[in-house]
A and B are shown apart, each in its own frame.
Chain A
Amino acid sequence: MKMIIAIIQPHKLEDVKQELYKANVNLLTVNEVLGHGRQKGITEVYRGVRESGNLLRKIRLEICVNDDFVDATLNAIMTGARTGETGDGKIFILPMEDCLRIRTGEKGKVAVG
């Protein structure tokens, strides 16, 4: 069982979702987050006061999958989110201890889905 966390550009969310559905991965949580990597964010100006280094909007996906789905999920995110420019984001893969479905109390592989 793995937890996959991906930080992507907001306008690529729709593409990533479509790729995930194609790979038969239908369970995901989406967060809106702020952040920046090497591109150092953007500059904003309010009434003449310049604020540089401001954070960019990003989308954070959390997807928990069984081991045999990991590669398919990673590929789907890569295909959907990649533009080749800086700011495309990153994917983190974490080991996952266990999982519990609240409605039924099922645990482990079945609960992940």
Chain B
Amino acid sequence: MKRFIFLLIVLACPFLMFAADAALAVPAVSAVAVAAPAAASNSGDISWMLISSALVLLMTPGLAFFYGGLVRRKNILGVLMQCFMAMAVISLQWVLFGYSLSFAPGNGFIGGLKYIGLNNVGMEPAPYAPNIPHQLFMIFQMMFAVITPALIIGAFAERMKFSAYIIFSLLWATLVYNPLCHWVWGGGWLQKLGVMDFAGGIVVHISAGFAALVTAIIIGKRRNHTDSPTPHNLPFTVLGAGLLWFGWFGFNAGSSLAANNVAISAFLSTNIAAAAAALTWAVIEWINMGKPTMLGTATGAVAGLATVTPASGFIGIWGAMAIGVSTSIICYLAVGMLKPKFKYDDTLDAFGVHGIGGLWGTLMTGLFASKLINSAGSNGLFFGNPHQFLVQCVGAFAAVGYTVAVTAVLYKLVDVFLGVRVDDKKEVLGLDVSEHNERAYTLIE
């Protein structure tokens, strides 16, 4: 009981600070308000967006190490390979037709074919960001498309056939990611409804997280494996978490699509949320388990980053702190209680961290968003606009429903034609040797 009360106090702190701050310091915050949108392409925006794109790309190998350290060592190359292959396959998918399905003018559900093969995507001002060239906008968005299917890998790690993985992620990118991207950012129905998703809480984290839940449940548990986690190289996981944190500045601050005040404020919220979430997770473990762990702290940081993603460009520092603290508590419960209770083998907690985090963050955006931070957004519930919270709920749960349904169908489809799961013998031998004919570590020499 004492613990519970302590947790509640910890959870309440940033909310109270937020309330005090909102009541007292509004004029101070308004100094951070956004500049008028820049007009034509300029080298400042172009260079920031090029760098941001590269930062976001680095998150995929970062994720590979984050995940890779957590699996048994006979499977690390399998995980690295799946992440790396997402960089290859989805990059090409995006250029050939993915970008067009996401961002070309179309109906409310999916984009048209105007930009297929990058037709009509040149150096003219981008339709959604006139201050940078269209091609640069496409590059930046490509990196988001790459990492999203890679996030799902955590759910079926250590047991999915590589060929099936490629086909599945290609289909998933086309039929889940591209439509969702269009709904929220490409002029689709959720954007028209006014859903706010700054850097991909719905598009990236809800979609990947709930796809992870579905695939983990359908593919079934790993064989010869106890329910306790078996990380073979935690330093890799921490390295991966570090690369993710670093790359996330491109992800969130870059999503302002300009080198401006919104980018600065998104950068700051990102860092605050990650820090608060990492600390909170460590404190929870300290109270609950007696010792804080490195894996828990790294997981907390990633959960904080995932959760602040949809809110990052719309919130102030106390909102970011409230998001960071609360997300660790919620994700900790999801990973430590929900998963054991329902007995699904979400191997690396892709759902517990990204699905729950993305959902929580999207809803919190509807609470903490403020036009003082970003004049292009809307106010949230705490700034007198309860309607926005409702809109966020609609957006989040529509994305959950669509993702769950389509992912299940795609999985079954691939399973019929290819078989998704490796056979028992290969699983026992490990994916490194059985799927790729190579080994990560030698024992002798």
8 contacts between A and B (CB under 8 A): A11-B224, A11-B428, A33-B443, A34-B443, A34-B444, A42-B433, A57-B74, A85-B425
- Assembly CA distance A43 to B443 (angstroms): 16
In angstroms, Cα B429 to Cα A60, docked, is 17
Tell me if B412 counts as interface (CB < 8 A to partner A). Answer: no
* Given contact pairs A32-B443, A34-B443, A43 touches B226 in the complex (Cβ within 8 A): no
Bound together, the chains give a CA A45 to CA B438 distance in angstroms of 6
For the complex, is B439 an interface residue (Cβ under 8 Å from A)? Answer: yes
How close is A47's CB to chain B, nearest CB, in angstroms? 10
Contact of B438 (CB < 8 Å), options: A33, A34, A44: A44
Q: Is the interface of A mostly helix, strand, loop or mixed?
A: strand
Interface residues on B, range: 10 to 19
Docked complex Cα distance between A101 and B443 (Å): 31
Interface string of A35-54 (1 = CB under 8 A from B): 00000001111100000000
Q: Which of chain B's residues have a CB closer than 8 A to the CB of A14?
A: 224, 226
Q: Which of B400-445 contact A (CB under 8 A)?
A: 425, 428-429, 433, 437-439, 443-444
Nearest CB in chain B to that of A15: its residue: B224
A-B contact count (CB 8 A): 23
B interface: dominant SS: loop
Question: Does A42 lie within 8 Å of B429, measured CB to CB?
Answer: yes
CA distance A14 to B222 in the complex (A): 15
Which of A9, A11, A14, A43 has the largest number of chain B CB atoms within 10 A? A11
Contacts of B429 in A (CB 8 A): 42
- B428: chain A residues at CB < 8 Å are 9, 11
Nearest to A57 among chain B residues (CB) is: B443
In Å, the complex CA distance between A11 and B72 comes to 11
Interface residues of B in 257-284 (CB under 8 A from A): none
Cross-chain contact A43 with B224 (CB below 8 angstroms): no
CB distance from A41 to the nearest CB of B (A): 10
* Inter-subunit contact A43/B437 (CB<8 Å): yes
Would you give the shortest CB distance from A13 to chain B, in whole angstroms?
10
Residues of B within 8 A of A33 (CB): 443
A14→B74 CA distance, assembly (Å): 16
* B437 touching A44, Cβ below 8 Å: yes
Q: Please tell me if the beta carbons of B443 and A46 are within 8 angstroms of each other in the complex.
A: no
Contact residues in B for A57 (Cβ distance below 8 Å) = 74, 443
Q: Is A44 in contact with B439, judged by CB distance below 8 angstroms?
A: yes
Contact B437 A45 (CB under 8 A): yes
Shortest Cβ gap from A50 to chain B (Å):
8
Which residue of B is nearest A9, CB measured? Answer: B428
Q: In the assembly, what is the distance between CA of A11 and CA of B426, in Å?
A: 12
